[in-house]
Amino acid sequence: MSEVKECPWCGIEPRLFGKDKAQCINEFNCPNAYGRPIPLDEWQVRPIEDALRAENEALRRKIAQIHKIAKSSIYDEEGLLGDIEEITKQDSPSGERI
Ligand SMILES: [Zn+2]
């Protein structure tokens, strides 16, 4: 298994029980501190977080594309608007347009 993820409630590294369970021990700042040890195959699953990271990365790539076009087309207003519209027509992972 890859690196053990931080606690989803407070963000600190969990305490491991053997090789297959994790528990948060951040007793002062975590609502889940000293809760039941959670099997790592459950602890590592973060579907919303993973989807948001993927969407964030896709949006960063689009921003980089827009910056690149803006730098190369700054004196051509009609061409710049056409290129940006073409990029924003592409679907984001959430289906929203940027
Ligand atoms: Zn925690």
Pairing label, strands 15-17, 38-39: unpaired
Place of tokens 């090789």: 19
Mark the residues whose beta carbon lies below 5 A from ion ligand 1: 7, 9-10, 24, 26, 30
List per-residue pLDDT tens for the chain, 98 residues long: 569 999 999 999 999 998 899 999 999 999 999 999 999 999 999 999 999 999 999 999 999 988 887 766 555 555 555 555 565 665 555 555 55
Buried b (16+ CB within 10 A) or exposed e, 43-70: beeeeeeeeeeeeeebeeebeeebeebe
> Residue 31 Cα, ligand 1 centroid: separation in angstroms?
7
Backbone phi and psi for residue 17, each to the nearest 5 degrees, phi listed first: -105, 105
pLDDT tens for residues 37-64? 999 999 999 999 999 999 999 999 999 9
